[in-house]
Amino acid sequence: MTTAYDVTAANLIDEISVELKGMAEVIPPDWAPFVKTGVSRELPPENPDWWYIRSAAVLRKIYLKGPIGTRRLKSMFGGRKNRGVKAERSRSGSGSIARKILQQLESARLVETVPNGRQLTAKGMSFVDGVAKKCS
């Protein structure tokens, strides 16, 4: 059986984002078109579907590394801050985006809260495995 480990990340994230776009629970908030995804970024994302792509990437990260919390997601989606002539430094991503996505995935019953963060439910595991099977 094909799992998320057997499929390339880009293909899996693209397919999961298409599936998440059809779910009523996963919708971008009103502020999503105007917000940067972290302090290391200079502009908001250009892709209008970036919320679904980020949600798919978070779901894949939970599948591979779960249980996982907001702090680890912030560091995974962070980047290098350009500080002009000074040396660049690593900065974390947006905590609000990570938190809202986790809440939406939890309301869709794809993830559940555990003491160390959030992990996939049985429905979430079968969802990701089903999408991975379509990708192969």
pLDDT at site 46 = 92
Task: Please report whether residue 4 resides in a domain.
Answer: no
pLDDT, tens digit (0-9, with 9 covering 90-100), for 47-78: 999 999 999 999 999 999 989 999 999 999 99
pTM for the model = 0.91
Instruction: Classify burial at 81, counting beta carbons within 10 Å of its beta carbon; exposed 0-12, middle 13-18, buried 19 or more.
Output: middle
Percent of the chain with pLDDT over 90: 89
Full domain range(s) for residue 24: 9-135
pLDDT at site 21 = 93
For the chain, residues with pLDDT lower than 50 are none
| CB half-sphere exposure, 30, CA atoms < 13 A | 0
Task: Please report whether residue 69 resides in a domain.
Answer: yes
Three-class secondary structure of residue 72 per DSSP: helix
Q: What is the domain count for the chain? A: 1
Contact assessment for residue 92 and residue 74, using Cβ atoms and an 8 Å cutoff: yes
Task: Please report whether residue 1 resides in a domain.
Answer: no
**CATH number of the domain to which 102 belongs:** 1.10.10.10
Task: Please report whether residue 131 resides in a domain.
Answer: yes
Contact assessment for residue 26 and residue 104, using Cβ atoms and an 8 Å cutoff: yes
Task: Please report whether residue 75 resides in a domain.
Answer: yes
